[in-house]
Chain A
Amino acid sequence: MIITMLTGGGEEQIESLENAARRHTQAGDVFRRLLNNKLGMIGLCIVIVLLFLTIFSGVVTKFPYEEQDFGNRFQFPDPVHIMGTDNFGRDIWSRLVYGGRISLLVAVISVAISLTCGVILGSVAGYFGGKVDITIMRILDILMAIPGLLMAIAVSAMLGSGPVKTAMAISISGIPASARLIRSTVMSIKSNEYVEAAVATGSTNRRVIFRHILPNVIAPIIVNSTLGIGGNIMAISGLSFIGLGVQPPTPEWGSILSSGRPYLRDFWPMIVFPSLFIMLTLFAFNLLGDALRDALDPKLKK
């Protein structure tokens, strides 16, 4: 009705204005900016293809990943085994596709764990400040003094192998960085008038944090988790590569790569194909993460 009053009639005009209002949601703007970023789109496409492959592993592979065929060991790529077979005669393509399931899942779980802890610690430290902030940040300083990978190695040795335990080991080393990021964002948002208004109207701390502050921290969280998934895939494969993390016969890119190491001289497919999968995935998540950062914070782009 207001629109009618302002524009003074015209059904089509009203409709187009309403459509424009509907179109200009924040999420819509972000999505449009993301669509315009060519590199980001390439990243997104690779991620979608990877997700498709890992979800429909059973459809895209001809052989079960654990099926051994000793008569067909060390086969170079051919039409039947498109990436060849490994030292047990298992199809490398099947192992890599199923391995992607493990790598991606473990990466997503570890990012979720470290972000949840990071959001809790960072928002509490950033919002309350003072002694709470100092205590939390000093503990995180200590955790940060231990190199992430070293921490993951030590925790992984303590917890043992397996996808979930690996996710936990990796996530611990990611907590300090995400907590710091959330803390700094929360601190900058806290000084806004609308937060002051919420406090003045008598909202509880919990309400202020969850309703007014955290929704505005969502942008760095999305960017951080996208880049974090890539980084964690690298860490998970690294751990499995040195014999911790996910253990054979469970397929995982790092452990497949590691099992190819003894045959480096004579059989390259066990090295080259897992490497390609790891690099392509990291490349895709890096592109997508960068594109999301540009889309969510166009100020940076100027």
Chain B
Amino acid sequence: MSRYIIKRLLWMIPVILGVLVIVFTISYFTPGDPAMSMLGTNYTEESYVALREKLGLDKPFLVQLWNYLWGLISRGDLGTSYIGSVPVATEVVHRFPITFKLGIMSVIVTTVIGVPLGILSATKQYSVADYTVTSFALIIAAIPNYVFALLGLLLFAVKLGWLPVSGVDSWKSWVMPVAANSFGFIAVIVRMTRTSMLEVIRSDYIRTARSKGLRERLVIWKHAFPNALIPIVTVIGTQLSFIMAGSIIVETIFSIPGMGTYIMTGINSRDYPIINGTVLLLSLCICGMNLIVDIAYAFIDPRIKAQYESGRKRVKKAKIPGKAVP
């Protein structure tokens, strides 16, 4: 098991380096001159040349890339933002926990609502409850987070006055951002849980469990659910990346001082170190979460654990069944 984890951790190194190179290249070719925008009205030819030299912007692309990589590896330096001259790492230390909190709360809400609804829908197939849940999933799948956020603001903040419009001061201010960030993903989880449970419920061992007189609750939660869990965990894992990225838009709408608003500041002022640093950290976070999901498989399914331990290449880490019976 530990061998597998070490292998996965080592594989993260080239991925992160690759991400870094891609992001650096993108921001290098982004039009706009940071030195020019930093100088503003104080622009003179000499000060411009001096500033470019100071920031290292006069060097060729590969030299700049190497300097950035070396700074990051040797000192953990994510660079200093051009505007305000604040080290990106310092800023990120304050902002990252906020985005992480938003992301984790969204994942929890998505799972806590989505999984039980999916199970209900599968166990009561073709009932009123099933049709209600599947229609609900169909409708919410068509609501993007920014639309949900604005309509929610319109209703709950402006018309009813129950929730604040922006900020993160109280628990109330988290309600709308978390709801906006998780709503659409609930649909995905509901559908996957339903499909996966329906497949399991039809297996022979469930029929056996029922025929030996086990209570229905025990059949569902002890026999069916653990076996339906792998595709559900897989889909939660893939949604993590969407949820983290979605928080950029949500943070912008609710003026939450997290990574999303920071990256937008970086993009608007062509502040490359901010863009590079935030994208890198968010990608690292997603790689880490994917690793956790992969390790979680081992705890859910002993067969996968045995595969990890024997070091064999996994042929299929999770079977995602197709669409459910409507």
Contact = CB atoms under 8 A, between A and B. Distances in A.
B26 A158 contact: yes
B189 interface: no
Contacts of A131: none
Given A145-B15, A261-B150, A278 B323 contact: no
A279 B143 contact: yes
Interface centre among B150, B154, B158 (most CB of A within 10 A): B150
B40 interface: no
Nearest to A37: B326
Interface stretch (B48-56, B115-123, B211-219, B282-290): B282-290
Contacts of A155: 26
A153 B248 contact: yes
B138 interface: yes
Interface size class of A (residues with CB under 8 A): 35 or more
A201 B154 CA distance: 67
B154 A142 contact: no
A173 to B, nearest CB: 9
Interface stretch (B27-35, B75-83, B167-175, B227-235): B27-35
User: At the interface, is chain A mostly helix, strand, loop or mixed?
Assistant: helix
B142 A282 contact: yes
Interface string B1-34: 0000000000000111011001100110111000
B249 A238 contact: yes
A300 interface: yes
A279 B158 contact: no
Contacts of B151: 271-272, 275
A264 B30 contact: no
Contact of A300 (B26, B146, B322): B322
Contacts of B242: 147-149
A290 B282 CA distance: 32
A271 B154 contact: yes
Nearest to B134: A39
B139 interface: yes
Nearest to B16: A145
A146 B138 contact: no
Interface in B116-163: 138-139, 141-147, 150-151, 153-154, 158
A257 interface: yes
A31 B318 CA distance: 32
A147 B282 contact: yes
B105 interface: no
A150 B248 CA distance: 8
Interface in A205-254: 230, 234, 237-238, 241-244, 254
Contacts of A241: 146, 249
Interface centre among A142, A160, A244 (most CB of B within 10 A): A142
A300 B323 CA distance: 6
B141 A286 contact: yes
A118 B183 CA distance: 29
Contact of B15 (A39, A141, A268, A282): A141
B181 to A, nearest CB: 12
B30 A158 contact: yes
A295 B82 CA distance: 55
B303 to A, nearest CB: 21
B241 interface: yes
A141 B18 CA distance: 9
B144 A234 contact: yes
B279 interface: yes
Contacts of A265: 158
A150 B279 contact: yes
B252 interface: yes
Interface of B: 14-16, 18-19, 22-23, 26-27, 29-31, 138-139, 141-147, 150-151, 153-154, 158, 241-242, 244-246, 248-249, 252-253, 263-264, 267-268, 275, 279, 282-283, 286-287, 322-323, 325-326
17 contacts: A147-B286, A149-B245, A153-B248, A154-B26, A155-B26, A157-B30, A158-B29, A158-B30, A244-B267, A264-B150, A265-B158, A271-B151, A271-B154, A278-B147, A282-B142, A294-B323, A301-B323
Closest 6 CB pairs of A and B: A142-B18, A147-B245, A300-B322, A283-B142, A149-B245, A282-B142
